[in-house]
Each structure stands twice: as structure tokens, then as C-alpha cells.
Amino acid sequence: MKSVVSLRELREERKKLPGPVGLVPTMGYLHAGHLSLLRQAGAQCASVVVSIFVNPTQFGPQEDLTTYPRDLARDLEMLKAGGANLVWIPTPEVMYPPGYQTWVTVDDVTKPLEGSLRPNHFRGVATVVAKLFNSVQPDKAFFGQKDAQQALVMRRMAQDLNFPIEVVVCPIVREADGLAMSSRNVNLNPEERRAAASLYKSLQAAREAYENGERSASRLRQVALDTLAQEPLAHPQYVSCAEADSLQELDQVEGPALLSMAVFIGRTRLIDNIVLGR
Amino acid sequence: MKSVVSLRELREERKKLPGPVGLVPTMGYLHAGHLSLLRQAGAQCASVVVSIFVNPTQFGPQEDLTTYPRDLARDLEMLKAGGANLVWIPTPEVMYPPGYQTWVTVDDVTKPLEGSLRPNHFRGVATVVAKLFNSVQPDKAFFGQKDAQQALVMRRMAQDLNFPIEVVVCPIVREADGLAMSSRNVNLNPEERRAAASLYKSLQAAREAYENGERSASRLRQVALDTLAQEPLAHPQYVSCAEADSLQELDQVEGPALLSMAVFIGRTRLIDNIVLGR
């Protein structure tokens, strides 16, 4: 496994890789969720490139850019063991040199949910992933369903801009108690960690209601909110029941629906989701 | 020479072309300026792809989208004679299918000159060229210096987004009286056609002043304006003397400067430029 920093080195090493090439974009501090993306990429592609870049342009001024967890040595060990062929670790100066001024924006699908609470977040994500796509030139790129809206934005961008790249979305990987794997979970203290299981518990409660025939989106949201309300450390920012592709909020669940939420556990903001009816 | 409409056909035919591949993006109604781009592409590349697409997203609501001149049969003859290998003629529906929502914007260099008068013009240009780049996957792309700001925007976008594509900018091709080749010249009646020579005449007058030692940007602009004022049919929209890369207006010409103008001749808007000090 080679690891490189500059774009020039990346392009040189990329040329040597047999195709098809899979890309797994990450912000580092890897966990079992990332490793499942790596496994999928390895199963579908002859070579796997992983990028590690905590992308400053997708963090808001009040967000956790500076405290975002990092452990490069551990990441590289995990990637080597996981079978990655090439790791790109650009610095912010490599990605955004002086005079940088080009942005990729996706309109409708970035407006609700995370986009409504995190202005410019998806502009930063779309821009950096467009750069990763052009730099690595993969045949496939692997994203996690945990960031469901991000996965939709990536699909939309790749399709709209005619990137010759297949966007593959992989299932959420969970801890034994249901907590979705996230680099931010490390910020939870033991009590918060226990409380964080309430996200998945509330999604499961809503799924059970759905499976028992409930189709009112507002009642499904309420089932999740009621379950979250039983956990004093959980402070929901939103609970959404939306059409699975457009992310428009639903009245009635008729086709596939994304039930998603953002919840503060202490100072840590967690997101999670399930898809109903697919 | 093959010509195709759909993205699928384009990708299939593109695969068969020996590299390096050159791309010449056009809006059709070809003239000697386009043919010089084609010649350059042919000289530098093993295969040449030309796109013909009158891109609606780069026209403002008051602009000449519907009256923009078109003659596909003639274009295809010229391209065949000029040695193009593949022509892509996407429809607006191929380029912007229902639900389309992704945009590429370039910030600083799009703000002055054409960008200040044509809101969203360069957003449309950058977006469609990003799509052309991803669809055709050329090694080099050829643009004309006649659209000097556009050429800068293309360079900036290709560099910022890490497109693995060299942007080549080719010199302006002029009629015998100095008028820069443009598809819009066909809209000039004979009297206007005569008057249109005043653009280059005024640029030449400013160049002469520069070569005689004039370095005040405002006096250089004034020399051009005074020359234009001698032509009653010429109505300048702007005359700029700006730093050649940033397009910031200058006080004194010290390094390379772009002397550029937009002038209405009757209802036809023409642009032209020269570079001083390079």
C-alpha cells in the first residue's frame, strides 16, 4: 500500500493501478463502517484508492472542524490490513491552494434536512468529491447510507455532471446496541454512549409502527420522537419522514421513505436513518 | 467522421478513438476561428472531438438564445473537411434532463466585465464545459482568446477541480479589416459590418499608444473610447484595461494587461480584446 500527499504523486501512482478502480472517500478516524466500504470496493474493483481528508469547506464556522478526531497512524494500519492499494492524504493547501475559487452546488436535494441546518455543507462536500473524482478517476465510488442525504447528493452530482463513475451506496454498520458507526462516537462519554442507542431504538419503533400498518408520516415521526423523549440526554434537532429520492417531507408513506434524524447527545450531534418500504 | 446525439453513443464512440484526444467545444455556426481551434487540436492530438451545443443556461432572459444563428448541415461539412473525428450534438434534453440541479461556479474571475453584465453566464459556461469534460474525457480542450474571460474561467475551473485536462487557448482569428471572427457577425447588416471594424481599430489605437510609452490605464481606455466615438453606429458597453489573469482594473500597466471591450453595433453585441505587455 502506497500513501501519497501531492496531486502529482497521486496521478503517478494511480496510473500504475489495474482497473477497475474503486474510490472510498473518507475524513479519516476510520471505523467498521469505513471498512465495510473498503470491503465492498475490494469485492467490486481490482484496485482500491482511499482518500483521507478532513475537508474544511464542509464545516460551518460553529462546527467541529478543529475537534474532529484524527489518528493517521491507526488509519493507515487499518487500511493496509483492509487491502487498500493507494491512500491519498492531501493537505488543505493541496486541495485549496491560494486563489482557489471554484464550487460545485447541487440545488433541490441539498435544501432540506442537513442542508437546511448546515449552510454550505453540501457545497463543500460536492466540491471536494468532484475534485476527488477528477484526481483519482475511479470507476466506482463508495459512500455510506449513514449519510443518506450526502449519498443522494453524490448520485445527483455524478449523474448531472456526467461523471463516468458509478456511485455505490453501502448499508449502515451498527454497534451491538444499534448505534450507527461514526467517527464522532468517540466524543461520547460512557453515559452519552449508552444514551446514543436511543436513535436506532426510535427508528426501530417507527419501523415497527410502519410494519403494523401505520402510513401517516406525522404519526411515524411522532413514534420516533416519543421514543427519543424517554432518553433525557437525547435532544432531537429534527426527525424527518421524507420521500426517499427527493427528500420532500411526506403526509402519507406510499413509496419508499427515508426516516431520518439528527439528535444531540450532550454536545455531540449524531445522525441516523432507515428506509421504509423498499 | 461520426456524429452522435446521446451520451451513451458518445461514450461508445469515444472509447474507439486513439489518444491523446482533443476537444473543441462550440455553439455551432462555425467560422474560421473555430477552424483554427480544430487545426490546433489536430496538430496536438491523435483524435479530435467537436461538440455543437447552443447552451441555454449561459444565455440571460433578455439575450439572443432564440436568434442565435444555426446551420448544422454546413457545420458538419466544415468539420468533416477540417478533419474532426467525432461530433457530439446533444439536445437540451440530453444535457439538462428533468430534475437537473447541479452547477459549477467560479468566483472572482467571473465577477468583472462579461460576468458583471451577464449574470449566471459563466455559471452556465462552467457547468456545460464540466459536463463536456466528463463526457468526452479529452486530454486537451481548445478555447479561443476572443472570449478572453471565458478562457480564464475555463483554466481556473480545470485547475481548481483537478480536471486531468490541459486548457489550450488559441489566438483570435480576424477578418481582413480586423473584425474578430464571431458567429454573431452574421447578424450585422452591410453598414453595421463596416462599422464593426471600429472595435479592432480602437484596440490598435490603444496598442499604438502603449507602444509609444503610455502606461496610464485610464488614458489607454480613453484612446480606445475616442476611436470608437468616431463611429456613430458603435455604442460601447465597456472598455476595460485590466490585469491579464485576475481581470482587476488597472491604474498603471506594469505587467500583462487585457484591453477588452463590449460594443453594440446596432442590436448586435460584439466583444474583442488584445493583450498588452506579454
Residues A38-96 have pLDDT tens digits of: 999 999 999 999 999 999 999 999 999 999 999 999 999 999 999 999 999 999 999 99
* CB atoms inside a 10 Å sphere around CB B100: 18
pLDDT of residue A157: 98
Residue pairs between chains A and B whose CB atoms are closer than 8 Å: 74
Mean pLDDT of A30-36: 98
Contact B105 A102 (CB under 8 A): yes
Q: For B132, which residue in chain A has the nearest alpha carbon?
A: A162
Cα angle A197-A200-A205, degrees, rounded to a multiple of 5: 120
pLDDT of residue A120: 96
Cis peptide before A20 (omega within 30 of 0): yes
Kindly tell me the burial class for residue B215, based on how many C-beta atoms sit within 10 Å of its own C-beta (0-12, 13-18, 19 or more).
middle
Q: For A95, which residue in chain B has the nearest alpha carbon?
A: B160
Helix, strand, coil % over all residues of chain A, rounded to 5: 40, 25, 35
Of A37, A57, A34, which is closest to residue A45 (Cα–Cα)?
Answer: A37
Contact A102 B106 (CB under 8 A): yes
pLDDT of residue A99: 97
B278 has a pLDDT exceeding 90: no
Task: Classify domain B183-273 by CATH number.
Answer: 3.30.1300.10
pLDDT in tens, B135-188: 999 999 999 999 999 999 999 999 999 999 999 999 999 999 999 999 999 999
Mean pLDDT of A173-193: 97
Q: For chain A, give the mean pLDDT.
A: 98
ipTM: 0.96
Considering chain A, tell me which residue range(s) the CATH 3.30.1300.10 domain(s) occupy. Answer: 183-276
pLDDT of residue B256: 98
pLDDT of residue A193: 98
Contact A131 B105 (CB under 8 A): no
Cell of B213: 510609452
Contact B161 A104 (CB under 8 A): yes
pLDDT of residue B272: 98
pLDDT of residue A235: 98
**Residue B50, helix vs strand vs coil:** strand
B129 has a pLDDT exceeding 90: yes
CB-closest option in A7, A100, A106 to B102: A106
Longest CA–CA span in chain B (Å) reads: 57
CB-closest option in B102, B108, B163 to A134: B163
What sign results for the dihedral spanned by CA atoms A23, A25, A29, A33?
Answer: negative
B193 has a pLDDT exceeding 90: yes
Of A139, A164, A141, which is closest to residue A154 (Cα–Cα)?
Answer: A141
Considering chain B, tell me which residue range(s) the CATH 3.30.1300.10 domain(s) occupy. Answer: 183-273
A189 has a pLDDT exceeding 90: yes
Nearest-angstrom CA–CA distance, B23 and B33: 15
Catalytic residue positions of A? 34
pLDDT in tens, A139-152: 999 999 999 999 99
Q: For chain B, give the mean pLDDT.
A: 98
Considering chain A, tell me which residue range(s) the CATH 3.40.50.620 domain(s) occupy. Answer: 2-170
Helices (H), A51-120: 72-82, 92-95, 113-117
A278 has a pLDDT exceeding 90: no
Letter string b/e over residues A165-196, b meaning 16 or more CB atoms within 10 A of that residue's CB = bebbbbebbbbeebbbbbbbbebbeeebbebb
pLDDT of residue B147: 98
- CATH homologous superfamily for the domain A183-276: Pantoate-beta-alanine ligase, C-terminal domain (3.30.1300.10)
- Strand runs (DSSP E) across A202-256, as ranges? 234-243
Task: Quickly name the fold that domain A2-170 has.
Answer: Rossmann fold (3.40.50)
How far out from the chain centre does Cα B255 lie?
A: 23
pLDDT in tens, A207-246: 999 999 999 999 999 999 999 999 999 999 999 999 999 9
CB-closest option in A7, A101, A104 to B156: A101
Mean pLDDT of A111-115: 98
Query: Cell 475537508 maps to which residue?
Result: A55
Contacts of B109 in chain A (CB under 8 A): 101
Catalytic residue positions of B? 34
